[in-house]
Amino acid sequence: MSASGGIAAKKIRRVVKPASRPASPATSLIDPVDSQPPRWGWIVVARKELADHLRGARALVLFIALALAAAIPLYFASTRIRDAAPAATGAPAVFLALFTLGSTDFPILRVNAFVGIVAPLLGIAFGFDAVNRERTERTLPRLLAQPIHRDDVINGKFAAGLAMISLALVAMTVLIAGFGLFRLGLVPTSGEIVRIGVWVGITILYVAFWLALGTFLSVVFRRAATAALVGFSLWLIVTIFGGLITSLIGGLVASTSSATTIDAALRAAQIQQLISRLLPSQLYQEASIVVLDPSVTRLSVPLTAGQLDQAQQQIPTLLSLDQSLLLAWPQLVALVGITVVLFAFAYIRFLRQEVRA
């Protein structure tokens, strides 16, 4: 074989690689290994939703509404603190009175009570259109076409709403504390700061229930207007008329009993309290007043007349934080339970829905 023939044979046996095509933007950015759904995909969704919330006008309106809701009872609380300043000098838990004192004519005008009425609007406002807005704008199929798990969508939206609510409540608490510190000259102790922080956490937990309710309504109803109407109606029934309804039921139960003894009256009061504790607003009010007022040592109605006498003869004392939390533990567990159950309903319903419908 000649030298030229050997060179030709080598060229024939050589494997010629195909010409490489320029990679498209999609293939150059997404590697086959990296295109798998990320483990923490809900963080990506939550980050995007939180950025939208911060840039939107809804957050500004709700911040202003929450600030006004805190400013109204704060005015009455500061007035009463100024009037009682000479007698309250050196008294314990004076700084906490900013959150527990209010108008003498309208007991509802306290910071903790007023926030318990207005703050649920934050949860409903950030949850009623979390999913159905994506359906209306027809962006839900495109969102789920991304390399994320399906449950990352609802988890991320819930986390973003909860982060926005937490930011609003923390900002409101800082404003109230700053007012008491610079305008009234009240210096909080470390124990009072911890109690206020625990109260903020309880308030976030309470509003998380309403956020879970709004998310559930956004999954069930396809129109945001319907979900908003149902959500605000439930808020009105529970927070505004809930106490009136439970009082009427307790009065009916008490009227059916012919006995007029103290034990019969206590049983009627216990039934009324049991019915009222079915409302999340009542659970929140009891937990918040225990945390913010260390002098509260009892929440339940005495079972017998003997226990009532013992409660009246009890020497006033201040509970430590762990004792207050132990007293409010059933209410906190109930709030956590109903929030988890309600969000689980929304979670399961969303996973079973048809995306293209």
The string of DSSP codes covering 266-327 is: HHHHHHHHHHHTTSHHHHHHHHHHHHH-TT----SPPSSHHHHHHHHTPPP----HHHHHHH
Q: Which of 75-84, 150-159, 232-241 has the lowest mean pLDDT?
A: 75-84
- pLDDT, averaged across the chain: 77
Split at pLDDT 50, 70, 90, the class of 344 is very high
pLDDT at 91: 56
| DSSP codes of every residue in 193-260 | HHHHHHHHHHHHHHHHHHHHHHHHHHHH-SSHHHHHHHHHHHHIIIIISHHHHHHHHHHHHHHH----
pLDDT confidence of residue 299: 77
Cβ atoms of residues 123 and 173 within 8 Å: no
Average pLDDT of the residues in 325-348: 93
Among left, alpha and beta (phi > 0; psi -120 to 50; other), residue 79 is alpha
Q: For 301-316, what is the mean pLDDT?
A: 60
Distance CA 29, CA 23 (A): 9
- How far apart, in whole angstroms, are the C-alpha atoms of residue 214 and residue 210? 6
Among 77, 287, 288, smallest CA distance to 186 is for: 77
Q: Please determine, for residue 3, whether its predicted confidence score (pLDDT) is greater than 50.
A: no
Strand partners, 110: 102
pLDDT higher than threshold 60 for residue 43: yes
Rounded CA-CA distance 322/326 in Å is 6
Tell me: pLDDT of 2 over 90.
no
Mean pLDDT of 318-323: 86
Average pLDDT over residues 309-317: 63
User: How do residues 209-263 score in pLDDT, each as one tens digit?
Assistant: 999 999 999 999 988 889 999 999 999 888 888 777 777 776 676 666 555 576 6
Cβ atoms 176, 74 nearer than 8 A = yes
> Could you tell me how far CA 132 lies from the centroid of its own chain?
20
Whether residue 295 is predicted with pLDDT greater than 90 in this model: the reply is no
The reported pLDDT for the residue numbered 204 is: 93
What average pLDDT does range 328-350 have in this prediction? Answer: 93
pLDDT digits (tens, 9 = 90+) for 279-294: 898 899 999 999 988 8
Averaged pLDDT, 94-111: 75
How far apart (Å, rounded) are the C-alpha atoms in residues 270 and 286?
Answer: 15
- Average pLDDT on 298-326 reads 71
Look at residue 26 in the predicted model and tell me its pLDDT.
Answer: 34
More confident residue, 329 or 300: 329
Neighbours of 180 (CB within 10 A): 23
- The torsion region of residue 17 among left (phi > 0), alpha (psi -120 to 50) and beta comes to beta
Polymer length of the chain: 357
Q: How confident is the model at residue 24 (pLDDT cuts 50, 70, 90)?
A: very low
State residue 188 phi and psi, 5-degree precision. -75, 150
The dihedrals phi and psi of 102, each to the nearest 5 degrees, come to -160, -150
Lowest-confidence region among 33-37, 141-145, 162-166, 239-243: 33-37
Tell whether the model's pLDDT for residue 264 goes beyond 70: no
pLDDT reading at 207 higher than 90: yes
Ranges 45-49, 92-96, 148-152, 295-299: which has the least confidence = 92-96
pTM of the model: 0.80
Share of the chain above pLDDT 70, in %: 74
By mean pLDDT, which of 26-40, 60-74, 262-276 is the weakest? 26-40
Is 303 a residue whose pLDDT tops 90? no
Query: Could you tell me if 95 and 180 are in contact, meaning their C-beta atoms sit under 8 angstroms apart?
Result: yes
Query: For residue 15, which amino acid is it?
Result: V
